[in-house]
Structures are given as C-alpha cells and as structure tokens.
C-alpha cells in the first residue's frame, strides 16, 4: 500500500486528557490551562466549541502540546553581573597571554639593569696596571730531558733574546721551548746556569718585538711593600697573583738531591705571601712600579709527615733578590759561568751550636783554612765560631754561606768571631771561586 497522509481522526490516547479542574489526576499529568479552569460550569461547552488539538504524526512539524508551566521571566541582575565578570576575566587572561606571546615573538628582548661601560684603563701602580706592563715580557718554559718534562717561567732581559729563569727549571734539559704571552712558541738554547744560585739564562733567536722587563733594586724593598708574581703554576701560563713582602734576608737552602752538596742553592731570599706554586719558578716578583725585585724560586710547604700537608702555596714563597740575580745573569751571559764569593775556609756542617764553626780539617785532608786565602789573611783559625756577619746574627753554617753569597767577590765584610770564649771582630775581603 502506498504511503499517504493519515486523514482519519487520530486515536483519542494521542490527545491531551480532558476533564474539569475538580477531576482527579494521575501523578505527573499537568493541570488544565488556566483559561479552561476559569470558565467554571460552562467549561464543557467551551471545550467542545474550541477545536481539539491533536498530534498528527504525519505532519511536517510535530506539534508540542505538553504544558511547560509558566512563561520564563527575563534575565535577572545577578546573572548579568556574573556573566560580565566572567567575560572580563576571560578577556583579561586572553589579552595577557596574547601580549606575552606578542612580546616574545617581537624583536624587542628583555634587558636587565647593568652598569655602563667604563674606561678600561687602570692605574699603573694597580695590580692590573702592573700585569699589563709586565706580561709581554714574561715567558713560559717547557723543558724536556732524560728524566722527563717540566714547566717553568722566565722573563726577558734584553733585545738580544736573553731570558732569566731558575737553574732547576732547565737542569739536565735536552729541549727547551719558550712560549710568549701572545701564544707564540720558539725553541731556546741554554747559555749558562749556576746551581749554587739556582739561576740560569737561555736565549731565543729571530724573535722581534721583545719586551724586556725593567730591573729594580732589591735593596730598596721593605717589609709590607706590595708585590705581584707572574708565572705558569701547573702550566697555567700568564697567571698573576698579588701579596706583600713578608720578610727580607731569609736564609733559604734548596736542592741537595744529588747528595754531594753540589746542587744545593743558598739564597738570602725575599719572603712573600703572593701565591707561588710549581711552575712559578723563575718568574718575576714585581714592585708597584712593575720593576723586577726578585726571581720566584722556592716555597715552603707543610712537613712531609703532616697528614694535612699541602702540595701548593701556603703563603710562604721565596724569591732571589734581583741584585744577586742581575750579577749572576751578567756573568752567565758573558762567560757561561758565575763566580761565588768565598772566605777560604771549610765549615763543620755537623756543628749544632749557635753560629758557624770552622772545621778542624779540610777536604781531602787539607787544612780547614786555605793558606793565603781571604780567611787566613783576616786571621781566622780552625775551631773559630763565626756568630755575626756585618752585625747580623748567623745560627749555622748554611746561614753563613747564604750571607756571604749575598755579596760580590771583593766586598769587605766584618765577621764577629768567638774564640776560646772571647768574642772579637775580623775584617775579611771576599775572594772568588767558579760556580758549578
């Protein structure tokens, strides 16, 4: 049967139930519309006169006949306020996010407050000023020998390429490479060295633009003077440290690894608290005018049996006075060897009393006082105890050697001598001996 629209009256159960206001209603069935209830007893006639609304399932649009109750009222004020606040918050959040996103994507970058660029110059007497003046004349030495390799420091003496350093840096060397502060490296040759003063001179050739350091006068150094040390501790080249002169005239002995005393260095040293570590050896110790006043040579570490022993600087560094270094360097450049001032006696190094005692016999059975030598001419005898040099007390044989080597051959000294319980003074003119 072909589809067609239903024209017969719809079944009564599709329509809304009819009845008066007083009719009992089943639970969930809505009450009649108000206008029907207002009609009272004539309501049945009016209802029959009004067209019956029926649901036509075949209609284009279904007709909703369920009673929805009262007509909804207008939007209340609190709803408007809540909607406005919510919209404002949402708009603010979206706007803030878009603003941050736009700033990040823009070419403008965030910058924190910072001091303006200042004059990069430094006062000449400042640590930075001293370093700027001296660094071009300081070099790092890399040495290779039969026993291994090592690192040390040196500084340029003249335009001819002579460089002063420590003897223990280049001792037994086979190859020496010199690296300047610019990073340029060249080979160097050994000119001369002296183990007694722990000084050596090497030379580079074919290098232009050398910057020799100015030599000061170590006699002008006073305790408390500011100083700057430059070197290559642990191969960290161009390292600058600063401190003060802690003391002058410190008797320091170093070396002695050979066991025969030929490699012992005797230094009347400048003591400084400027940090000095392995690799600083041979580097300059500079005063406030960037003048070299010492050659960094040794440090004092903690005792070997101390479990807290430090391998580096503990604030006790020692430098060879430049006056001594200058004389030795001049001799090494001129002759390849240095001379040592002597008094011509053999000391009893086993003596434990106060002062330096002249031995009872010399080397190889020779007399302890060299015949015709400086000591013999001054009147020194075997068994004499030398207690002072130019009024400065000496406590042992090492200190006496240090005090004598702080002078030049030909210098006149006054020795205080204790003999048979009596003290006397003797004048001695220092002689000369070739160093090793």
As given in the structure block, the two tokens for residue 129 are: 């000023």
Pair 265, 436: CB distance under 8 Å: no
H-type helices in 284-432, by residue range? 322-335, 374-378, 397-405
Q: Give the torsion sign (CA, 351, 356, 357, 361).
A: positive
At residue 196, the pLDDT reads 92
Helix (H) or strand (E) holding 233: none
**Residue 52 has what pLDDT?**
54
Q: Which helix (H) or strand (E) holds 270?
A: strand 265-272
Q: Which whole-number Å values give the CA distances from 209 to 137, 215, 231, 289, 379, in the listed order?
A: 10, 19, 20, 22, 54
Marked catalytic residue, from 162, 168, 291, 407: 168
8 Å CB contact between 284 and 152: no
Complete DSSP assignment for 51-116: PPP---TTSSSPPP-----SPP-PPPHHHHHHHHHHHHHHHHHHHHHHHHHHHHHSS-------PP
Query: What tens digit of pLDDT does each residue of 245-259 get?
Result: 999 999 998 876 666
Per the annotation, the verdict on 162 as an active-site residue is: no
Query: Average pLDDT of each block of 10 consecutive residues along the chain (436 residues)?
Result: 46 43 47 47 46 53 49 65 78 72 64 85 92 97 91 97 96 94 95 95 95 97 97 94 96 75 84 94 97 94 58 86 97 95 94 94 89 95 96 94 94 96 95 84
pTM of the predicted model as reported, rounded to 2 decimal places: 0.72
pLDDT of residue 259: 62
291 is known as an active-site residue: no
Give 314's contacts (C-beta < 8 A, 6+ positions apart). Answer: 299, 300, 301, 302
Residue with tokens 């068994």: 383
pLDDT tens by residue, 337-382: 999 999 999 999 999 999 999 999 888 888 999 999 999 999 999 9
The Cα–Cα gap between 408 and 321 comes to 13
- Spatial distance between the Cα atoms of 280 and 140, rounded to a whole number of angstroms: 9
Reply yes or no on whether 281 is catalytic.
yes
Catalytic residue, from 173, 195, 198, 287: name it.
198
Query: What pLDDT score was predicted for residue 177?
Result: 97
Instruction: Please pick, among 195, 281, 297, 313, the residue that the annotation labels catalytic.
Output: 281
């Amino acid at each position: 049967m072909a589809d067609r629209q239903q024209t017969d009256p719809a079944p009564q159960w599709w329509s809304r139930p009819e009845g008066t206001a007083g009719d009992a209603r089943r639970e969930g069935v809505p009450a009649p519309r108000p206008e029907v209830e207002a009609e009272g007893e004539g309501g049945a006639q009016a209802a029959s006169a009004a067209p019956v609304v029926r649901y036509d399932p075949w209609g284009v649009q279904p007709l909703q006949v369920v009673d929805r109750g009262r007509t909804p009222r207008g939007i209340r004020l609190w709803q408007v306020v809540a909607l406005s606040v919510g919209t404002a918050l949402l708009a603010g959040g979206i706007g803030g996010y878009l603003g941050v996103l736009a700033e990040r994507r823009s070419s403008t970058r965030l910058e924190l407050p910072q001091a303006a660029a200042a004059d990069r110059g430094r006062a000449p007497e400042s640590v930075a000023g001293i370093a700027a003046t001296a660094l071009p004349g300081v070099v790092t030495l890399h040495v290779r020998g039969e026993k291994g390799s090592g690192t040390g420091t040196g500084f340029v003496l003249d335009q001819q390429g002579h460089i002063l350093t420590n003897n223990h840096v280049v001792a037994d060397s086979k190859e020496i490479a010199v690296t300047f502060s610019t990073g340029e490296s060249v080979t160097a040759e050994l000119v001369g060295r002296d183990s007694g003063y722990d000084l050596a001179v090497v030379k580079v050739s074919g290098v232009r633009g050398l910057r020799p350091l100015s030599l000061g006068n170590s006699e002008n150094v006073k305790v408390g003077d500011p100083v700057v040390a430059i070197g290559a501790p642990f191969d960290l080249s161009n390292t600058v440290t600063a401190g003060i002169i802690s003391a002058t005239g410190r008797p320091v002995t170093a070396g002695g690894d050979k066991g025969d005393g030929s490699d012992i260095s005797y230094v009347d040293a400048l003591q400084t608290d400027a940090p000095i570590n392995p690799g600083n050896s041979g580097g300059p110790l500079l005063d406030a005018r960037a003048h070299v006043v010492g050659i960094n040579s040794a440090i004092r570490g903690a005792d070997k049996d101390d479990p807290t022993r430090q391998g580096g600087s503990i604030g006790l560094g020692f430098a060879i006075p430049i006056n001594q270094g200058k004389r030795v360097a001049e001799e090494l450049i001129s002759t390849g060897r240095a001379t040592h001032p002597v008094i011509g006696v053999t000391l009893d190094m086993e003596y434990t009393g106060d002062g330096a005692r002249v031995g009872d016999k010399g080397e190889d059975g020779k007399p302890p006082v060299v015949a015709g030598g400086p000591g013999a001419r001054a009147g020194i005898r075997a068994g004499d105890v030398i207690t002072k040099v130019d009024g400065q007390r000496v406590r042992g044989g090492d200190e006496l050697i240090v005090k004598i080597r702080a002078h030049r051959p030909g210098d006149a000294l006054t020795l205080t001598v204790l003999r048979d319980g009596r003290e006397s003074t003797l004048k001695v003119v220092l002689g000369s001996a070739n160093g090793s």
